Amino acid sequence: MRRLAALALSGIALVTVVGSGASADQDQADGYGRHQPKVTIFGHRGASGYRPEHTLASYELAARMGADFIEPDLVTTKDGVLVARHEPEIGGTTNVADHPEFTGRKTTKTLDGVATTGWFTEDFTLAELRTLRAKERIPDIRQRNTIYNGKFEVPTFQEVIDLSRRLSAELHREIGIVPEIKHSTYFRGQGLPIEPTFVAMLNRNGLNRPDAKVIVQSFEVGNLIELRRVLRVQFVQLTSATGAPYDFVVKGDKRTYADIVSPAGLRDVAKYAQWVGPDKNQVIPRDAKGFLQQPTSLVADAHKAGLKVMAYTFRAENNFLPADFRSSANPAEYGDIFSEFKKFFDAGLDGLFTDNTDTAIEARNNFRH
């Protein structure tokens, strides 16, 4: 445990060690005509265990720690610019509440069937968003990250693409992007569909090609099927341990995420995607006390359907770990995330999303197949 804490607390120092050699141990083709580590590491919202999420600083740290891909979640502004936020409501991840000029923008909207109060990206132009600064989403758990509150802007998708290219050249390995289109049905209802702008941006940046290191994500289904017709990149169908795709809900389709990860559902996914991205609890469930149970058949079923599996989200704090690996009752303390990684590597994952890229790389190097 001392070693884990030291690794996590030495994020900057680790950048030099891991960032330069993280890709040296490569043992399987990645589908792009290159080679990659057997378990692909996706920097979840960047290195959000160490910096406020969805900031250029967070993405850069993840890449320097060794992430194979960085993950921008995409929403849109009032003037149609794609920016990186986990959801359209920005009260929890920016200092918008501290700007009196935007007090009147606070409102309540129905977001995927849920009444949500706050400030929404589609009510701000990019220029207005540029006056805001990012802050830590979960300060009670990640108090150390709060020292960066107010330091970073909300980045555009173009800036994330530019960053990945700069870092690819600097680090001498290609840093992929795994953009997620957030709340597709919602934004269409706002008259600001994300997909046309997204396609145009990939085309403009020369990324609409089979060998581009781009994997497109969505929790909805219809938009991925539509995008599959015009994009030549890879796709991942995200799923949740509960509920259903919101586009299914709106159309009255009774299928749930549980149906999607059934053997028949996975065969359908394989018609338009190369990956499935389940909640990790769909791979290895927990009991009522939070202890891990036996793995489900999801990974084997997905592989049989010809799909790779990337699970989310791996975080080092006790608050998020299975009870098996918690170090104390303190939710903010680090537990034994290495043992969690090993459990899921052994379950056959092809990739994983993590807030703690450095520990994932260390685990991959130690527990590789």
What gap in Å lies between CA 88 and CA 281, rounded to an integer?
26
Can you give the pLDDT at residue 34? 41
Fold type of domain 46-85+152-366: TIM Barrel (3.20.20)
Domains of the chain, by residue range, sit at 46-85+152-366
CA atoms within 13 A on the CB side of 342: 8
What gap in Å lies between CA 100 and CA 108, rounded to an integer?
18
pTM over the 0.85 mark: yes
Can you give the pLDDT at residue 367? 82
What gap in Å lies between CA 228 and CA 244, rounded to an integer?
21
Q: pLDDT digit of tens for each residue in the chain (369 aa)?
A: 444 444 444 443 344 333 434 443 444 444 433 444 489 999 999 999 999 999 999 999 999 999 999 999 999 999 999 999 999 999 999 999 999 999 999 999 999 999 999 999 999 999 999 999 999 999 999 999 999 999 999 999 999 999 999 999 999 999 999 999 999 999 999 999 999 999 999 999 999 999 999 999 999 999 999 999 999 999 999 999 999 999 999 999 999 999 999 999 999 999 999 999 999 999 999 999 999 999 999 999 999 999 999 999 999 999 999 999 999 999 999 999 999 999 999 999 999 999 999 999 999 999 865
Can you give the pLDDT at residue 368? 62
